Amino acid sequence: MKKSIIIFLIFTIFFIFAPPFLVKYDKTQQITSVEASKKDGVNTEVTNNEIKENESKVSENKVDNEKDEDITTFSSNTCFKKTYYISGDRVNIYEDSTGKDKVIGYLKKNDVIVAYEEKNGYIYCENNVGNKGWVRKNKDNLTGSNYKATQYKVDINITTQKMNITKDNKNIKTILCSTGEVGNADTETPIGVFYVQEKGSYFYSSKYNQGAKYFIKFFSNYLIHSIPTDKNGNIIEEEKKKLGIPVSHGCIRVPMEDSKWIYDNIPKGSMVEIHY
């Protein structure tokens, strides 16, 4: 009987005093586990924050790019020139970018301009007839598109130095050409969508001591014309050998027979699209 009582007391004492020790042990393990979990959680949170931050940056860049694309359609990282299209009914051309706003001319809706410089929220640009000045860069003045389908289309790929001519969306002629020297602000051919403005059978430039036959004008002084000729109208053989290489002063050169075909067959108002 006494033995049974002693055993009972031993078990009773054990159950009374043992739990705190057991709880302390489990709590220690739990704290270690929580600390580890917390540590992992912090790392995960940092990683997630970094991802969100990067996504935010990408999103911001995307928004900026989208904003820029709203008004700048044709440009690239290697281009000095950017092509814009006028969206306002009457957009002023200013003498400078100081904000004094001395007007020296204006542009009409759908006019094409090529910009050479950007400063103080203005762009320094040239219009269809070669006049230059500063225009405020905003969506009220500029748009990113001026596309209107035409029966004939002249498509120039600067990368391949190939010209494709289509009629009613069907390719009818492919021509090897030479565009402006790339990487030079004075000579690169502007990229964008333009429309044939004028035609001519011959011109000569005393500045370059070169001329050409059978040209069509698509923007300012930019033309599609024959291989350069001398002052007597003879083809310059040295220039003929450069066909297929971007070496012009900004115009687009094609073989003599092709320039004659273009002159005879491509009507004014036809689209000229230039791209990489």
Which amino acids are annotated catalytic? 225, 251
Under DSSP, the state recorded for 68 is: H
Reduced to 3 states (helix: H, G, I; strand: E, B; else coil), residue 149 is: coil
CA distance 180 to 222: 10
Between the alpha carbon of residue 185 and those of residues 43, 96, 117, 182, 213, the distances in Å are 50, 20, 10, 8, 25
Burial class of residue 214 (count of CB atoms within 10 Å of its CB; 0-12, 13-18, 19+): buried
Give the Cβ contact number of residue 169 at 10 Å: 8
Phi, psi (degrees; rounded to nearest 5) at 214: 50, 75
**Of the candidates 155, 182, 185, 180, the residue with the CA atom closest to the CA atom of residue 170:** 155
Side-chain-side CA neighbours of 143 within 13 Å: the count stands at 15
